[in-house]
Every structure is written in structure tokens, then in C-alpha cells.
Structure 1
């Protein structure tokens, strides 16, 4: 298995510099592929506008706009067309921020920067929305039209367009590929690789033990990746933090290892979560893995995770806090009546 992973790494690990923009645009025109970018967002007003502006300026202007002065607030704004849409000769055709219930100005900031903003509860209203990132990603398939869908987390700092063009590029130039994830360094404090604690402590051991074919993925839980719609619509989506691991494992079984790839896009800087938030994330990922290991086996119950907070008045000085772990999974989108009707139309 180690030899197989090594061969995959050699064949399917790239750099964003491998594919110049001109070659990507030529491949996109030749194939007629449409590209949608989705930013799932919850209270990200500080960073979402900058990400949207970079994508609009560098990937949606068909090469017309260069440099900071060409952003949506300038006289070039008309080159982009309506909010969320691009000029005809652009890498990205559609940019959607899917707001999952923000209480700050995330939606207003994203719209002002030029994204089409869709609120989670407006999508598939007959099915009450559940909290969680995976829920938003799943619903985004109903409000986007791209043949390739690229997901980007909305909390990235110092955002580069390489996060999008890097993962979209291999899908445009190699028809055998179906899902491409970004890989990068994740600094934390003075440690240049100290981020990704849940990856190192939970996800990587799980993958090495149970899905060793996926052991070559540098950032298996990373939120920046692109996939063909024809693959995404076949996969179930865990509604919470387990979505990235679930999609990766299911893509392996559905499409095969050689249909998966990764691209080095440099450095990823973002807002780091608290230790307790990481604990909840780890529990959801563990359950997502268990579910995939146990299919056809024993019955699973909905788990809870108990954590502790220091409270002076509590016995022993610590108070327990229990959290229900997201375990619901949405079915493949092609099984949803509204989606099938839209595809048929």
C-alpha cells in the first residue's frame, strides 16, 4: 500500500504554478466547462469581502482587470456583469456566498464586494435546515450551475486566487480527475506547520488505519477543493464538521484513487478555533468515519460529547457541557425531486 500511495503522490500531486492561466482558459473554452465557486459563511464579515474581491478581480474579469484598482468598487465593475456572474472569458463563471445564518454583516459585505448571496433557509425550504457546514455545501448544489464546483472557506486571511485556480485547473486539463483538494502549510503562532491539529490527531490516523489509500493527502480536512458536479451529486453529505472526510472517503469508493488529486497552493492563514471547538469537530469526524466503517454492520446511536469549562461555583471547579454531535447525512442530491426537475429543465 505504501508503494501505491507513493505512486499516487507522484502522479496526482501538483503545484498551482504547473498550469498557467492562459492554458486553463484555453482548456475551459475547449471543453465548455462552467465553474462555480461557493463560499460557505457564518459570521465572516471580517474576511469574506476580501476573498470575494480577489476572485472577482482576478478570476471573473476575463483577463481585463489587473491590480487593486480594478476591483468591484472601481470603474471596471461593469466588466463582471450581475452580482456573482462573470465576463464571458473568465475562469470562474459564478460566485455564490451561502450564508448559514450569520448575525453580523457577512451577507451585506459579500454582496457589496460582488458575490451573489443566498441564505441557507431559502434553499429547499420544504426541508428545514440543520446547522452545520456540510448542510450548506449540500444545499449549494441546488443554487449553482457549474459543471465544476469549487468550495472555499470564508475565513481565509491573505487570500490568493491560487486557492481557486489551483484546484480547478487539473479538472479542466485532465478529464480523468473528479476531485482535487488544496494542500498548504498552516502556521499557528511561531510554528509554521502548527495548524491542522484535528487533522494530525484524528483524521490522519483514521485515514492511515482504515483508508490507507488516502494517506497521501496532505490536508484531508481542508475546506478548499473542487469537484465535478457529476461526482458531488452522487455523494451523501454529513451536515457538520465531518463533511470533508466523508466526501473524501466516499469519492475514493465512488471514483477510485486515481480520480483524486491535490495541488500545493502555498500557505493558508485563517482564524483558529478554540480547543473545545476542535474537540467537537474531532468527535463529528470520528463519527463520520465510524459510520463508513460500520455500513452494513452494527447500529449507531447519535453521540454526545461532554466537555468541561472552569466555573468557580461548580463542584470541583469545572462544569460539564454536553454537545450533540452532528450525525445526519443528506442523501445524494440527484435523489432530491427539486434538483432532478431543475436538471431536466
Structure 2
């Protein structure tokens, strides 16, 4: 299996420079409606960064060249000016709760991504995290490239360096949950995916025809779940990755990473044969008290999963229309 992953790494890995913008535009025109592209930014309190990302994408890939057809920011309950900043920069902004209102929304990134399928129309959907700094629109054009030029590819992950801090000693040490949790899990249980450089990265693109058939974990396990389920549904060669250089974003503290890790482990475990796990899980963590002791605090771990969007009547009716 690891040998298969190594062959895949050579066969299905590209650089952002491998496909020029004119090549992508020609491929998009040739594909017709199958080449329509929606970019989705899930956002929660990202007023500091979302505007610059939207501005870059509109300028570079909508106005200078007509590559992106739709740019959507889905606000998942921000208490800052995320929606206003995104709209002013030129994005269409929709609140999570406005999409499929008959189904009560739950917190979580995966919930927002799942609902975005009902709010977008592109046959290729590209997801981009809204906390990126020093954003380069080639991250999007590079990631969607293989989907426009190779009909066999169905899911493309961006791969990149993730600096942990500004000092040279911190270079490329981001992605701690990837290295400590996701990569060991994949190597142990899904070694075909051992060649995926950024399995948890929030920047990836896929064909709608694939995404609508996949369940979506509602929380942080969504990226790992989609990757494993894609392997099982359409096979390893339907997955590709593109090197886009470097990705800078906000880093979380150790306890937040612990909660993220628990959600990812749960997502992986429920995809192993014979595993039946409770849907309601908690992670107990500890805080130092003023009197010198420790106090426990138990955090709920989002373990729910949304069914494939193709099974939702409102979505099926829209697609049929």
C-alpha cells in the first residue's frame, strides 16, 4: 500500500506553475457548464483577513481573467464585521442559517461546507479558509487546475509549507494536528493516502458530482472524512494535489488543537470496519486555578455527520430543475 502511495505521489502531484492561466481559461471554455467554478469561504469572526482574500480573488480571477464564476462567503455566526467586510470586498455573503432553514444548524466548519453546496451553482467547488494572511490567488487557480484539465481527477488538495511563527526556527512547523494525529492515522489505516501532504488543509477543490455523494462531518473532521470517503468511493487516482508554496494563517493554542484532534480521531474511527461510537462525545481538559489547583472543563466534540447532499429533497429538486 505504501508503494502505491509513492507511485501516486509522482503521478498525481503537480506544481502551481504546471498550468498557466491561459491554459486554464481554454480548458474552462472547452468544458462549458462542466467548467463552472464556485469558490466558498467558510467564515467565523474573520473580519481581519476575509476582505483581502475576497479582493484578491475578485481582482485576479474574476475581473482580470474570467476564471471564477461565483465567490461566496458563508458566515457561520460571526459576532464581528465579517459579513460586512466580505460584502464590501465584493463577495456574495450568506448566513449559514439562511441555507436550508428547515434543518436547524449546528456549529462547525463541516456544517457550513455542507450547506454551501445548496447555495452555490458551480460544477467545480473550491473551498478556502478565511483566516489566510498574505493571500495569493494562485492558491485557487492552482488547486482547480487539474479538475479543468484532467477529467479523471475529482478531488484536489492544495499542498504547502505552513510556517508556525515569524522566526526562521518556526519555519514549516505548522500543521501540528496533521503530523501528530492525521498522518499517523492515514499511514496506519489508509496507507494509500500516505502521500497526501496536507490531508487536513482547508484549501481544496472537487467536482460537485463527487461532493454531493459524500457525507460531511459537521466539525473539524470534515477534511479527513471527505478524503477517506473519496478514496472509498472513486479510488486513489481520482485524488490529486498541487504545490502552491506557502500558507500563512492564524494558529490555535494547544487545548484548541486537542479538541480538534479528538474530532478528527472520532471521524477516522467511525470509518474503520466494526467501529460503533457514541454520537455525543466530550473531551475533558484542565485549567490552572488561582489557588494553585486544577479545574476540569469538559468540551463537547462534534461527532454528527450530515448525509450526502444528493439525498436532501431541496437539493435534488434544484438539480432536477
- Whether these two folds match at TM > 0.5 is yes
CA contact (8 A) 2:36 2:68 kept: yes
Distance 1:170 1:272 in 2: 29
Does 1:326 pair with 2:302? yes
Distance 2:243 2:173 in 1: 17
TM-score normalized by the length of structure 2: 0.97
Report SS of the residue matched to 1:60.
helix
Q: 1:112 aligns with which of 66, 88, 100?
A: 88
State the 1:2 CA deviation.
Answer: 2.3
What is the aligned partner in structure 1 of residue 4 from structure 2?
A: 4
In the TM superposition, 1:178-327 aligns within 5 A as 178-189=154-165, 190=167, 191-294=170-273, 296-313=274-291, 317-327=293-303
Could you list the runs of 4 or more consecutive aligned residues of structure 1 that deviate by over 4 angstroms after TM superposition? none
Report SS of the residue matched to 1:117.
strand
TM-score normalized by the length of structure 1: 0.90
Report SS of the residue matched to 1:142.
helix
CA contact (8 A) 2:132 2:247 kept: yes
Deviations 1:155-210 (A, max 9, x none): 00000011100110100000000000000000112321110000000000000000
What is the aligned partner in structure 1 of residue 129 from structure 2?
A: 153
Let me know the Cα RMSD of the aligned residues: 1.0
CA contact (8 A) 2:269 2:275 kept: no
Q: 1:127 aligns with which of 74, 88, 103?
A: 103
| Residues 299, 266 of structure 1: alpha-carbon distance in 2 compared, 3 angstrom cutoff | closer
What is the aligned partner in structure 2 of residue 335 from structure 1?
A: 311
Unaligned runs of 5+ in 1: 64-89
Distance 2:314 2:3 in 1: 44
Distance 1:310 1:110 in 2: 38
What is the aligned partner in structure 2 of residue 34 from structure 1?
A: 36
Unaligned runs of 5+ in 2: none
What is the aligned partner in structure 2 of residue 72 from structure 1?
A: none
Distance 2:264 2:163 in 1: 22
Distance 2:197 2:138 in 1: 17
State the 1:43 CA deviation.
Answer: 0.1
What is the aligned partner in structure 2 of residue 101 from structure 1?
A: 77
CA contact (8 A) 1:291 1:300 kept: no
Q: 1:50 aligns with which of 49, 52, 73?
A: 52
